[in-house]
């Protein structure tokens, strides 16, 4: 991928974070690494998407998890935090994920109804799967010699099997409660997931602040383990 970043060398470093569930766990880590968002960042009612960093020369973008990877891959942000599920789904060559932050731990799994459901479609060599992760899902089933037709959903995958949309789902599982509450069982784990610090490869080479940031996160993780 061509890095189309127009970031001026002396402009603020842009750090992208997902706005949802990871954020609570990410903030203390960010702060230990010296990325300290201004107070408005913590105000859920604040509609701003870009925030100052009180500790230095940085802007913090609050975006959707999948978009963190896209901003960083295209160099529109130099660094960010995102789940390894998202990294694997996009497989952007410009993304480098040097630090496992150990937060947002879950797994990506195939699930299906606990009780058999009569389907009008699908057989052993062709099946439909509802998922937010069509690339990971296709690759997973291809490895087993199965051609999967992936239907992209953005949430509530659990509704697909009982509404006739798809026989199986591929979704994130943590406690397993969501699957259980929706009559589904986990059949196969595809990957373990944790959140990572990601950086744009070109920015890492070009801007010493990016390498310094990576180092600060590494040290923050060591402090965490101590």
Q: Under the rule (CB under 6 A), what is the footprint of ligand ATP?
A: 18-23, 64-66, 83, 85-86, 104-106, 172, 174, 193, 195
Cβ at position 147, least distance to ligand ATP in Å: 26
Taking the least distance from each CB to ligand ATP, the nearer of 84 and 209 is: 84
Cβ at position 226, least distance to ligand PRP in Å: 29
> Helix or strand or coil: residue 46?
coil
Taking the least distance from each CB to ligand PRP, the nearer of 35 and 111 is: 111
The 139-168 contact track toward ligand PRP, x by CB under 6 A, reads ----------------xx------------
123, 177, 222, 225: residue in contact with ligand PRP (rule CB under 6 A):
177
Based on the shown chain and the rule CB under 6 A, indicate whether residue 171 belongs to the binding site for ligand PRP.
yes
Q: How far is residue 48's CA from residue 84's CA, in Å, rounded to a whole number?
A: 26
Q: How far is residue 23's CA from residue 185's CA, in Å, rounded to a whole number?
A: 28
Tokens of 170: 């591929």
Tokens of 160: 């697909």
- Cα angle 170, 173, 175 (rounded to 5 degrees) comes to 155
**Residue 140 near residue 190, CB atoms below 8 Å:** yes
């Amino acid at each position: 991928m061509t890095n189309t970043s127009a970031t001026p060398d002396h402009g603020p470093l842009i750090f992208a974070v997902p706005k949802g569930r990871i954020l609570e766990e990410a903030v203390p880590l960010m702060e230990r690494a010296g990325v300290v968002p201004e107070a408005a960042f913590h105000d859920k009612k604040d509609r701003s998407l870009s925030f100052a960093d009180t500790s230095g020369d940085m802007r913090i973008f609050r975006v959707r998890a999948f978009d963190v990877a896209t901003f960083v891959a295209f160099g529109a942000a130099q660094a960010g935090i995102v789940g390894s599920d998202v990294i694997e789904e996009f497989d952007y060559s410009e993304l480098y994920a040097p630090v496992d932050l150990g937060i947002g731990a879950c797994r990506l799994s195939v699930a299906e109804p606990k009780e058999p459901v009569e389907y009008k479609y699908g057989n052993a060599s062709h099946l439909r799967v509802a998922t937010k992760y069509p690339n990971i899902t296709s690759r997973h089933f291809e490895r087993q010699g199965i051609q999967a037709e992936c239907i992209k959903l953005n949430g509530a995958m659990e509704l697909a099997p009982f509404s006739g949309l798809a026989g199986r789902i591929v979704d994130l599982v943590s406690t397993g409660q969501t699957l259980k509450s929706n009559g589904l069982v986990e059949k196969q784990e595809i990957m373990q997931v944790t959140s990572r610090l990601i950086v744009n490869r070109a920015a890492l080479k070009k801007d010493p602040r990016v390498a310094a940031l990576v180092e600060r996160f590494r040290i923050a993780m060591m402090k965490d383990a101590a």
